[in-house]
């Protein structure tokens, strides 16, 4: 590697790193909150009353309320009872309880869950490519053959092995 190439790569690495520092801080917080998504951490109950179509069956009710696997536990006259609340078939009124994250934390988690239909998709692709650039450009920080470069390769290999072990176990 020539000294000019190494110097340019260091400059690109440095300024892209500064730019992405804010994105990485927010992205890391969203990842940490996602770890606790199956717990009650930061969640609070919210009572909701919605007017729906009348005479919905259990499966249709689940779709309308966006509740997977909604099961009707009891039916008394026009009132359908389910774990989270009730639905009146005659009036179409559903009263139920949901557990929700604060709006900011919910938006933060959507950063990680973005798909191709979301505008965040472009940020995620850019971020992923930038991280891959960091992987490649980090090998330009030290000249091949030096002890620091060799140790860097060992640490890189160790990181890859640890990640593969955790994925496969």
Model confidence at 7: pLDDT above 70: yes
Tally of helices (H runs) and strands (E runs) in the chain: 5, 5
pLDDT at 79: 95
Residue 148 phi/psi, 5-degree rounding, is -65, -40
Q: What is the mean pLDDT of the segment spanning 7-11?
A: 87
Model confidence at 2: pLDDT above 80: no
The C-alpha atoms of residue 8 and residue 14 are separated, in whole angstroms, by 10
- DSSP secondary structure string, 90-124? TT-EEEEEEEE--HHHHHHHHHHH--TTSTHHHHH
Q: Token digits for 107?
A: 């938006």
Picking from 105, 79, 103, 83, the residue whose alpha carbon sits closest to that of residue 93 is: 79
Task: Kindly state the percentage of the chain with pLDDT values over 90.
Answer: 59
Residue 88 phi/psi, 5-degree rounding, is -100, 115
Q: What is the mean pLDDT of the segment spanning 36-64?
A: 92
Pairing type for strands 44-51 and 72-76 reads unpaired
pLDDT at 62: 93
Contacts of 141 (CB under 8 A, 6+ apart): 6, 9, 10, 13, 152
pLDDT at 151: 93
pLDDT at 24: 87
pTM as predicted: 0.65
Q: What is the mean pLDDT of the segment spanning 4-33?
A: 88
Q: pLDDT per residue over 75-109, tens digit each?
A: 999 999 999 999 999 999 999 999 999 999 999 89
pLDDT at 51: 96
pLDDT at 1: 61
The C-alpha atoms of residue 98 and residue 24 are separated, in whole angstroms, by 31
Give the number of other Cβ atoms within 10 Å of residue 9's Cβ.
18
Q: pLDDT per residue over 59-68, tens digit each?
A: 899 999 999 8
């Amino acid at each position: 590697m020539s000294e000019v190439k190494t110097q340019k790569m260091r400059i690109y690495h440095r300024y892209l790193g500064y730019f992405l520092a804010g994105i990485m801080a927010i992205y890391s917080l969203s990842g940490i909150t996602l770890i606790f998504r199956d717990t009650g951490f930061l969640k609070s109950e919210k009572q909701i009353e919605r007017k729906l179509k009348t005479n919905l069956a259990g499966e249709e009710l689940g779709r309308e309320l966006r509740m997977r696997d909604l099961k009707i536990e009891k039916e008394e006259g026009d009132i359908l009872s389910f774990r989270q609340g009730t639905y009146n078939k005659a009036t179409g009124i559903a009263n139920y309880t949901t557990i929700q994250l604060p709006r900011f934390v919910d938006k933060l988690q959507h950063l990680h869950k973005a798909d191709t239909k979301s505008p965040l998709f472009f940020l995620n692709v850019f971020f992923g490519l930038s991280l891959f650039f960091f992987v490649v450009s980090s090998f330009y920080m030290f000249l091949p053959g030096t002890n620091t470069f060799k140790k860097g390769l060992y640490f890189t290999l160790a990181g890859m092995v640890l990640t593969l072990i955790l994925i496969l176990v």
